[in-house]
C-alpha cells in the first residue's frame, strides 16, 4: 500500500473500533477494506477479519470484567452450542469459492441494510434483573444457529446475538453486552483456527487492522461518554457504507453501467 492507502486503512480500522463500540457491525466496513484496498480474495478477507474481532473482543471482555458487568452463571449453555455452530460454519466457509463468497457478502450487505433501517435497539427494552433462563431447548438451537452464522461470516452477528440474549435469555442490556462479547470470543477461536488451517488468513493486514480497531474501541468509549447520541451518526455512516458495498459485490454498478450504454 502507498502512504495514502495506508492512512485510509488505519482510519478504517479506528472507525471500525468506534462503530463496534457504539453500534456494532463493524465488519461491514473491514470486509470491503480488505477486499478493495488490500486486494484480498473474499474468502481470505473473511478469515483475516477474525483477527481484529478476536483482539477487540478481548479488550471489551476485560473492560466488562473490570467493571463487574460480566456475569457467567449458566453461560456455558450458550457457549457450547455457539462454539459447535461456529466450528461447523467456518468449515463450510473455507470450502466456498471466492465468487460465491463475494455474492454472500453482497447479499449480507442487503440484509444488514434492512436491519439498520429497522433500528433493532429500539425494541431491546431494558428488563428488570431476574433469573436468566439459558437452558430452554429453543435457546440451544438458537445459539447453535447464531454460532453457525458467526462462524461462516462475522458481519452483523453482534446485533442478532444481542437480540437473542435480551429477548430469549432475558438478560438486561448491560449484562447482554458483556455476554455477547464472550460468545463472540468463543466462536471466533474455532473459526480462526479453521481459516488458518485453510490458509485463508493474511496475518500482516489482520494484525494491523486489529491494532487500529483496539485504538478505535478506546476512542469509541470516550466518544460515547461525551456524545450520547453518537450511535445515531454511526448508523447513518454504516448505511452509506453498506449500500456502496452491496452495489459493488452484487455487481449492481456494472449492470447499471451496461444498461446505460445501451441508450
Model pLDDT, residue 260: 47
Q: State the residue for C-alpha cell 452464522.
A: 149
Model pLDDT, residue 24: 64
Q: What is the mean pLDDT of residues 141-146?
A: 92
Confirm if 50 and 185 have CB atoms less than 8 A apart: no
Of 238, 247, 194, 198, give the one whose Cα is nearest residue 30: 238
pLDDT in tens, 18-73: 777 665 677 878 888 898 889 999 899 999 999 998 988 888 787 777 767 677 77
Q: Where are the domains of the chain?
A: 3-251
DSSP-assigned letter for residue 194: H
Model pLDDT, residue 21: 67
Question: C-alpha 206: how far from its chain's center?
Answer: 15
Model pLDDT, residue 181: 83
Confirm if 216 and 16 have CB atoms less than 8 A apart: yes
Model pLDDT, residue 167: 77
Of 40, 43, 41, 36, give the one whose Cα is nearest residue 12: 36
pLDDT in tens, 107-142: 777 777 776 666 655 555 545 545 667 778 888 899
pLDDT in tens, 195-247: 999 999 999 999 999 999 888 877 776 665 566 565 566 666 667 766 766 66
Label residue 39 left, alpha or beta by phi (over 0 means left) and psi (-120 to 50 means alpha).
Answer: left
261 pLDDT more than 70: no
Model pLDDT, residue 156: 75
Residues in the chain: 263
Could you tell me the CA-to-CA distances from 159 to 25, 83, 98, 146 in Å, in that order? 7, 18, 26, 11
Give Dmax (Cα) for the chain. Answer: 64
Model pLDDT, residue 202: 96
pLDDT tier at 257, thresholds 50, 70, 90: very low
Model pLDDT, residue 234: 62
pLDDT in tens, 58-88: 887 877 777 676 777 778 888 999 999 999 9
Of 45, 5, 11, give the one whose Cα is nearest residue 28: 45
Dihedral angle computed from the Cα positions of residues 153, 60, 87 and 190, in that order, rounded to the nearest 10 degrees:
120
Among 16-25, 63-72, 173-182, 251-260, the least confident range? 251-260
Amino acid at each position: 500500500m502507498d502512504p495514502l492507502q495506508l492512512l485510509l486503512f488505519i482510519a478504517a480500522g479506528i472507525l471500525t473500533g468506534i462503530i463496534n463500540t457504539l453500534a456494532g457491525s463493524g465488519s461491514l466496513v473491514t470486509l470491503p477494506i480488505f477486499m478493495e484496498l488490500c486486494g484480498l480474495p473474499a474468502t481470505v478477507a473473511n478469515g483475516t477479519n477474525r483477527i481484529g474481532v478476536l483482539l477487540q473482543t478481548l479488550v471489551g471482555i476485560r473492560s466488562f470484567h473490570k467493571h463487574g458487568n460480566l456475569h457467567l452463571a449458566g453461560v456455558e449453555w450458550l457457549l457450547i452450542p455457539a462454539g459447535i455452530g461456529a466450528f461447523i460454519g467456518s468449515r463450510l466457509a473455507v470450502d466456498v469459492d471466492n465468487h460465491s463468497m463475494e455474492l454472500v457478502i453482497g447479499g449480507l450487505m442487503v440484509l444488514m441494510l434492512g436491519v439498520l433501517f429497522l433500528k433493532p435497539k429500539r425494541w431491546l427494552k431494558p428488563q428488570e434483573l431476574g433469573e436468566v433462563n439459558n437452558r430452554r431447548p429453543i435457546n440451544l438451537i438458537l445459539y447453535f444457529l447464531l454460532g453457525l452464522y458467526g462462524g461462516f461470516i462475522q458481519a452483523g452477528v453482534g446485533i442478532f446475538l444481542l437480540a437473542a440474549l435480551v429477548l430469549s435469555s432475558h438478560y438486561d442490556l448491560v449484562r447482554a453486552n458483556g455476554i455477547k462479547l464472550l460468545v463472540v470470543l468463543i466462536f471466533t477461536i474455532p473459526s480462526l483456527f479453521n481459516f488458518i488451517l485453510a490458509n485463508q488468513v493474511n496475518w500482516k493486514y489482520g494484525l494491523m487492522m486489529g491494532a487500529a480497531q483496539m485504538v478505535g474501541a478506546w476512542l469509541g468509549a470516550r466518544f460515547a461518554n461525551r456524545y450520547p447520541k453518537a450511535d445515531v451518526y454511526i448508523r447513518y455512516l454504516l448505511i452509506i457504507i453498506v449500500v456502496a458495498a452491496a452495489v459493488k459485490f452484487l455487481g449492481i454498478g456494472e449492470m447499471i453501467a451496461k444498461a446505460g450504454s445501451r441508450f
